[in-house]
């Protein structure tokens, strides 16, 4: 067993790790891969904990109780201080749904399982990360779950496996790594958050702490090894992005780099280890735990109030505030509680820790069962609108955005007594139109099928890379279903067209880019061109089946979560409600999508384009957010039930036609699709008829 002694270079390494994480979260250029700082922490933690435990085991004085006493003194004081402060700030800043979600994170963090919670919250309508001030506690969850069994594992190996630590820990590390590789490709959320799939990084640190890896007496080789390790870390920080399939193989450079630096320092001094031992870096390393815990809530609340990204001056200010708070936290919370003179009675310390956890968990539970305490501000008069309700579905037990087109029971809307004569096909934006379509269907005594799933545009032959639902099987299933139902005369196609044609999110929306590809072709075409071709195939197929097609243009995206916007407007300034986009911004964002929809509707008389967005702009050309004290949106881009009913008149004419037997009329010949699809774009082959947006001269 290597002799354990204070390593200033490890504190310097901690400093690099925590600053990389902070700069990454602040979107500082060159630090987009700074999230690997957590991996550096994992390796360091595995190394130090293993060194401490094995030292005690070899001295025959290891105690699980002493081990957890140390963990409590190290982790609890600052950790629960951060939870308490963020809870108070959340009560002041957060609207009710965000506050309720935050309460769930309090409960999970209290029992060190927030990594599991944030993995489970990767659903479609979950709050973005900027509304989760305890998001960063996922890494503590991973560590504390690891340390539930790790001391027992080392004790077991010592007593029953002849202290053969290296082969057993190496085997477990390899198993964890292989699981992580599989998870990155098949379950990326689990690969990132689950302890068993991240344990290999802690095991790597543990392996470095063992004497099985030989040391090197050559200063030149130590310099080379440590410099290589530092290079691996800096490379990861500079060149990784949120699109990097991480952890997996991409976690090897920062993990291996950290291990190389620690190991070279164990062998003797090197230039890299001396640099890392520079006093300013060492000091940052000493306060790194406080820095890590305090920086993210500060960023979250600052951005939550601003509703935009931070400018350079604000970034500098946040860094300064974070350091100021962290130094105070380190001096007056961390250091006193780590001393055994404070609460020297271990049973009393454990009792206080348990009481703290009970109080924290009870607080989160109280907030949750009160639905986020909407009564805190008068804004709830607007906020309490039913953003989505399932009452208008004939299949009332159905409550999911995903409809299986192969299911025997497809949900319907409209009249319960009539055979369905129309179908709605599209993504969650199509789903948001259901209250409007249901209102019109009931008015004209007709019925329609729902064929929707989130994040899936109604385009054939196109796939969305990395999406949880494969587009082609779903869309082909929809076509097969419609073909099997000749009574369906009309098919509505709706989607968030702009996000697919542009490939980008809007304004401050969280999320990754949307990348499309052709099912049968090599990638290389733009999203807009792929959407054009895919939508043409869908319309072509429906027309060949003698179905009328109704295209619904996209409603305006806001770029801000509506609940947060309304809440902040009530809390700070009503002027925040003026942040809604203008009609010019809408046209710019939807330029490619509008072009495609207009071209399709101009090409064939059995294709109709409906533009409900025209009803959502006021006389000044701004998006209407509130009507009769009700929000027209449920988030930053979907209509609420109120909003959907608000634009229902836009569908009046089409439902009036659908209620008449002769609506389908005479179908035009449609024999040009193969010729059109062999060109770069079919737009050259259609009518040059010009269309204008509502409100456009």
DSSP characters for 234-277? HHHHHH--TTS-TTGGGGHHHHHHHHHHHHHHHHS--HHHHHHT
CA angle 187–192–194, rounded 5-degree value: 85
The answer, yes or no, to whether residue 383 has pLDDT greater than 60, is: no
pLDDT value, residue 393: 52
pLDDT mean over 494-508: 90
Residue written as token pair 């735990």: 289
Q: What value does the mean pLDDT of the chain take? A: 86
DSSP designation for 491: E
The answer, yes or no, to whether residue 676 has pLDDT greater than 60, is: no
Cα distances from 378 to residues 86, 90, 93, 383, 568, in angstroms, run: 22, 16, 13, 9, 12
CB atoms within 10 A of CB 482: 20
Token pair of 520 as six digits: 């049968």
pLDDT mean over 472-477: 91
CB atoms within 10 A of CB 375: 10
pLDDT value, residue 374: 82
327-343 pLDDT, tens digit each: 999 999 999 998 888 88
168-182 pLDDT, tens digit each: 999 999 999 999 999
Nearest alpha-carbon partner for 291 in 236, 329, 259:
329
The interaxial angle of helices 64-93 and 562-571, nearest 10 deg, is 70
DSSP designation for 648: G
Q: How far is C-alpha 174 from the chain's CA centre?
A: 28
The answer, yes or no, to whether residue 675 has pLDDT greater than 50, is: no
What is the CB-side half-sphere exposure of residue 231 using CA atoms within 13 A?
6
pLDDT value, residue 690: 33
In DSSP terms, 610 is beta-bridged to: 552
CB atoms within 10 A of CB 373: 17
3-state per-residue secondary structure call for 530-588: HHHHHHHHHHHHHHHCCCEEEEECCCCCCCCCHHHHHHHHHHCCHHHHHHCCEHHHHHH
Cα distances from 665 to residues 2, 86, 494, 552, 661, in angstroms, run: 86, 62, 23, 20, 9
pLDDT mean over 450-459: 91
The interaxial angle of helices 37-58 and 138-160, nearest 10 deg, is 30
Token pair of 629 as six digits: 């004290």
| Pair 247, 191: CB distance under 8 Å | yes
pLDDT value, residue 509: 73
Please tell me whether the peptide bond between 111 and the residue prior to it is cis, using omega within 30 degrees of 0: no
The answer, yes or no, to whether residue 73 has pLDDT greater than 60, is: yes
115-171 pLDDT, tens digit each: 999 888 764 444 566 679 999 999 999 999 999 999 999 999 999 998 999 999 999
Residue 142: strand, helix, or coil? helix
Model confidence, pTM = 0.77
Identify the burial level of 662 via C-beta atoms within 10 angstroms of its C-beta, where 0-12 means exposed, 13-18 middle and 19 or more buried: exposed
Residue 633: strand, helix, or coil? strand
In DSSP terms, 463 is beta-bridged to: 517
Residue written as token pair 């809870």: 87
Greatest mean pLDDT range, 243-247, 290-294, 444-448 = 290-294
Q: Report domain 412-557+583-619+642-685's class.
A: alpha beta
pLDDT value, residue 319: 97
The answer, yes or no, to whether residue 428 has pLDDT greater than 80, is: yes
pLDDT value, residue 603: 78
| Pair 409, 480: CB distance under 8 Å | no
pLDDT value, residue 141: 96
The answer, yes or no, to whether residue 102 has pLDDT greater than 50, is: yes
pLDDT value, residue 216: 77
172-231 pLDDT, tens digit each: 999 999 999 999 988 988 999 999 999 999 999 999 999 888 887 788 999 999 999 999
Residue 636: in which H helix or E strand, if any?
none
pLDDT value, residue 589: 94
Domain extents for the chain? 8-376, 412-557+583-619+642-685
Token pair of 375 as six digits: 């009564």
CB atoms within 10 A of CB 226: 27
Residue environment code for 326-360, b if the CB has 16+ CB neighbours within 10 A, otherwise e: beebbeebbeebeeeeebeeeeebeeebeebeeeb
Q: Which residues contact 612 (CB under 8 A, 6 or more apart)?
A: 433, 436, 552, 553, 555, 647, 650, 651
pLDDT value, residue 667: 45
In which band, very low, low, confident or very high, does the pLDDT at 565 lie, cut at 50, 70 and 90?
confident
Name the percent of the chain lying above pLDDT 70: 88
CA distance 624 to 618: 6
Q: Is the model more confident about 496 or about 340?
A: 496
Q: Which residues contact 339 (CB under 8 A, 6 or more apart)?
A: none
Q: Determine if residue 447 is left, alpha or beta; phi over 0 gives left, psi from -120 to 50 gives alpha, anything else beta.
A: beta
Token pair of 577 as six digits: 């409600």
Residue written as token pair 């880019």: 513
- Least trusted range by pLDDT, from 61-70, 134-143, 298-307: 298-307
pLDDT value, residue 287: 97
Token pair of 138 as six digits: 């996922």
| Pair 237, 36: CB distance under 8 Å | yes
| Pair 222, 268: CB distance under 8 Å | yes
In DSSP terms, 464 is beta-bridged to: 516
In DSSP terms, 205 is beta-bridged to: none
Token pair of 674 as six digits: 């193969």
Q: Which residues contact 41 (CB under 8 A, 6 or more apart)?
A: 14, 17, 18, 139, 292
- Least trusted range by pLDDT, from 268-277, 382-391, 518-527: 382-391
Residue 396: in which H helix or E strand, if any?
none
pLDDT value, residue 382: 55
- Least trusted range by pLDDT, from 1-15, 188-202, 259-273: 1-15
Token pair of 243 as six digits: 């699109």
Greatest mean pLDDT range, 129-143, 411-425, 583-597 = 583-597
CB atoms within 10 A of CB 465: 11
The answer, yes or no, to whether residue 687 has pLDDT greater than 80, is: no
CA angle 515–235–216, rounded 5-degree value: 145
Residue written as token pair 């990348």: 515
Nearest alpha-carbon partner for 27 in 467, 505, 508:
508
């Amino acid at each position: 067993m290597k002799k354990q002694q204070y390593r200033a270079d490890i504190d310097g390494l901690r400093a690099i790790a925590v600053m990389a994480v902070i700069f990454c979260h602040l979107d500082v250029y060159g630090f987009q891969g700074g999230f690997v700082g957590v991996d550096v922490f994992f390796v360091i933690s595995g190394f130090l904990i293993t060194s401490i435990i094995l030292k005690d085991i070899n001295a025959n004085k290891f105690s699980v109780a002493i081990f957890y006493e140390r963990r409590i003194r190290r982790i609890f004081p600052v950790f629960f201080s951060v939870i308490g402060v963020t809870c108070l700030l959340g009560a002041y800043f957060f609207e009710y749904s965000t506050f309720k979600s935050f309460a769930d994170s309090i409960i999970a963090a209290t029992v060190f399982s927030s990594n599991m919670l944030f993995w489970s919250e990767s659903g479609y309508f979950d709050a973005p990360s900027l509304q989760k001030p305890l998001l960063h506690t996922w890494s503590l969850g991973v560590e504390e779950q690891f340390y539930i069994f790790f001391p027992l594992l080392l004790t077991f190996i010592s007593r029953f496996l002849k202290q053969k630590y290296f082969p057993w820990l190496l085997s477990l590390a390899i198993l964890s790594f292989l699981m992580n590789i599989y998870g990155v490709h098949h379950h990326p959320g689990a690969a990132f958050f689950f302890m068993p799939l991240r344990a290999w990084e802690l095991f790597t640190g543990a392996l470095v702490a063992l004497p099985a890896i030989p040391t090197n007496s050559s200063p030149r080789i130590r310099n080379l090894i440590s410099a290589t390790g530092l290079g691996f870390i800096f490379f990861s920080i500079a060149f990784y992005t949120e699109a990097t399939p991480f952890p997996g193989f991409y976690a090897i450079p920062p993990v291996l780099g950290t291990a190389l630096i620690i190991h070279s320092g164990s062998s003797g001094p090197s230039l890299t280890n001396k640099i890392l031992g520079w006093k300013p870096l060492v000091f940052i390393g000493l306060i790194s735990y406080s820095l890590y815990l305090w920086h993210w809530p500060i960023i979250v609340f600052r951005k939550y109030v601003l509703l935009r990204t931070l400018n350079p001056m604000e970034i500098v200010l946040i860094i300064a505030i974070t350091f100021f708070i962290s130094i105070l936290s380190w001096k007056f919370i961390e250091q006193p509680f780590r001393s055994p003179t404070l609460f020297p009675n271990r049973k009393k310390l454990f009792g206080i820790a348990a009481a703290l956890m009970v109080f924290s968990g009870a607080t989160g539970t109280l907030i949750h069962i009160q639905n986020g305490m909407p009564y805190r501000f008068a804004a709830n008069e607007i906020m309490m609108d039913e953003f989505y309700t399932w009452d208008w579905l004939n299949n009332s037990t159905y409550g999911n955005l995903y409809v299986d087109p192969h299911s025997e029971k497809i949900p319907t809307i409209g009249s319960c007594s009539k055979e369905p004569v129309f179908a709605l096909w599209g993504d969650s934006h199509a789903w948001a139109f259901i209250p409007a379509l249901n209102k019109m269907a009931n008015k004209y005594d007709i019925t329609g099928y729902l064929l929707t799933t989130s994040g899936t545009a109604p385009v054939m032959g196109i796939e969305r890379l990395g999406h949880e639902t494969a587009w082609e099987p779903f869309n082909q299933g929809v076509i097969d279903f419609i073909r099997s139902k000749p009574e369906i005369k009309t098919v509505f196609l709706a989607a968030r067209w702009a996000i697919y044609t542009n490939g980008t999110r809007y304004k401050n929306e969280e999320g990754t880019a949307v990348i499309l590809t052709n099912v049968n072709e090599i990638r290389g075409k733009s999203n807009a061109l792929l959407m054009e071709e895919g939508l043409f195939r869908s319309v072509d197929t429906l027309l060949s089946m003698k179905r009328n097609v109704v295209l619904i243009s996209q409603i305006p995206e806001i770029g801000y979560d509506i609940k947060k916007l309304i809440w902040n407007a009530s809390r700070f300034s009503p002027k925040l409600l003026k942040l809604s986009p203008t009609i010019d911004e809408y046209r710019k964002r939807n330029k490619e999508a509008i072009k495609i929809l207009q071209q399709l509707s101009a090409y064939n008389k059995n294709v109709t384009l409906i533009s409900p967005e025209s009803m959502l702009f006021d006389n000044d050309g701004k998006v209407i957010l509130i009507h009769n004290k009700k929000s027209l949106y449920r988030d930053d881009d979907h209509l609420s039930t109120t909003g959907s009913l608000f634009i229902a008149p836009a569908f009046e004419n089409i439902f009036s036609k659908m209620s008449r037997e002769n609506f389908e009329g005479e179908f035009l010949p449609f024999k040009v699709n193969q010729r059109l699809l062999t060109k770069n774009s079919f737009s050259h082959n259609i009518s040059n008829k010009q269309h204008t947006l509502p409100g456009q001269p």
